[in-house]
Amino acid sequence: MSQPSQVPTTRRAAVDPKECSITGTLAAIGDRWSVLVLRELFYGVRRFNDIQHDLGISRSVLTDRLARLVEIGVARTEPYQEPGDRVRQQYRLTRKGVRLLPVLVGLMEWGDEFLSNGDPPVVLEERDSGEQVRLELRSTSGALVAPHQIVTRARRRRVD
Amino acid sequence: MSQPSQVPTTRRAAVDPKECSITGTLAAIGDRWSVLVLRELFYGVRRFNDIQHDLGISRSVLTDRLARLVEIGVARTEPYQEPGDRVRQQYRLTRKGVRLLPVLVGLMEWGDEFLSNGDPPVVLEERDSGEQVRLELRSTSGALVAPHQIVTRARRRRVD
DNA sequence: CAGTATCCCAAGCGATACTG
DNA sequence: CAGTATCGCTTGGGATACTG
């Protein structure tokens, strides 16, 4: 730990950083609030005031975030009606939004491991079996893959 | 406080949002740049100027982000020395930082699916087998779990 | 090469009040 | 209940210049 490293230390990213999918996803939902709003929707909280209450987000910002989530297609509005009241809108995840679940679970698992002292506030379970659900990196053959066994390969962009 | 619950559209989060691990992780690395810096480190880019060049981040902000990542323990500095030059610092992921890999992969996979027209700029492969690596939600018994089969269970309930 | 130090602007945000 | 509208403030962050 005190010896200067002998391995090559200089290396540029193997891919144009501007074309990386991580950059794109962050541009879509990488602001301070969107992920939290998505979490609420995943938890089943669908109404404006409930989300606002849970998150402590200001109303104007929530309006903006929900509109944006709908615009990019990860959430959709759905009409509902309380008896004796007029029709209102609620918000639900689309399939495209559900596909962000691994990101949410990844954030949750890291926080569980490093921030909550082995006492996770929420656990994810499979509905039928009651078994705990975890995120795993696996190869196409189904084997678990350790992070250090993973290499990145840049693909040549198709030109059209 | 009781409600006429004809339609189950209203629901509060089953957990105190302030205690959610997602909130905590976002507080740690949820800003505009940290995840991208982590991506660089995962790609093996370790030097200040290389990261700055790749991301187009300003020098003062990069200084701040790297210091913060070191402070929270997801990155560490490591001395290295070019022949005939003085010892300098480079940055590497710690184990705690490597544990954020599923988050990066989750962001990447979503971008690959919805933003890059089925033409992912980068693929992740297992070093030995060359097989593609993907993120999966599985139960403890090892079975794949569909997102809609997942339920959340709060372990510490806060009544308000 | 790897940072610091300043300056300054604009986005993001909360608070508050208002509306259909 | 589900938003809009307005108003400042705060802070993130880029530009630039400087340093060991």
Instruction: Compute the CA torsion angle B11, A52, A63, A124 (nearest 10 deg).
Output: -50
Instruction: Compute the CA torsion angle A130, B156, A100, B96 (nearest 10 deg).
Output: -100
Any domain includes B12: no
Residue A13 has pLDDT above 90, yes or no: no
Any domain includes A108: yes
Nearest CA in chain A to B40: A13
pLDDT value for B82: 75
Does the nearest atom of strand C lie within 7 Å of B94's Cβ? no
Residue A104 has pLDDT above 50, yes or no: yes
Any domain includes A8: no
Any domain includes B154: no
Q: Which domain holds residue B51?
A: 17-149
Number of domains in chain B: 1
Task: Tell me the C-alpha distance between A86 and A78, whole Å.
Answer: 14
Give, in Å, how far the C1' of D3 lies from the CA of B5: 23
Q: Please, is A158 exposed, middle or buried when counting C-beta atoms within 10 Å of its C-beta (0-12, 13-18, 19+)? A: exposed
B147·A119 Cβ contact <8 A: no
Return the SS3 of A109: helix
Averaged over A87-112, what is the pLDDT? 96
Averaged over A41-63, what is the pLDDT? 94
Any domain includes B118: yes
- Name residues 105-134 of chain B within 8 A of A (Cβ): 105-116, 119-129, 131-134
- Residues 56-75 of chain A within 7 A of strand C, judged by CB, are 56-61
pLDDT value for B154: 86
Any domain includes A66: yes
The lowest-confidence range among A14-18, A94-98, B62-66, B113-117 is A14-18
Q: Per residue in A105-134, pLDDT tens? A: 999 999 999 998 778 999 999 999 999 999
Any domain includes A159: no
Q: Report the alpha-carbon angle A91-A87-A70, nearest 5.
A: 25
Most confident of A14-23, A58-67, A74-83: A58-67
Write out residues in chain B with pLDDT < 70, as ranges: 1-18, 156-160
Any domain includes B24: yes
Averaged over A61-73, what is the pLDDT? 96
- Whether residue A63 contacts residue A31, with contact meaning beta carbons closer than 8 Å, is answered with no
User: Residues in chain B, how many?
Assistant: 160
pLDDT value for B19: 73
Quote the pTM value: 0.91
Task: Tell me the C-alpha distance between B76 and B38, whole Å.
Answer: 12
Q: The domain that contains A138 carries what CATH number?
A: 1.10.10.10
Cα-based distances in Å from A125 to A99, B62, B147, B153, B158: 17, 39, 10, 7, 20
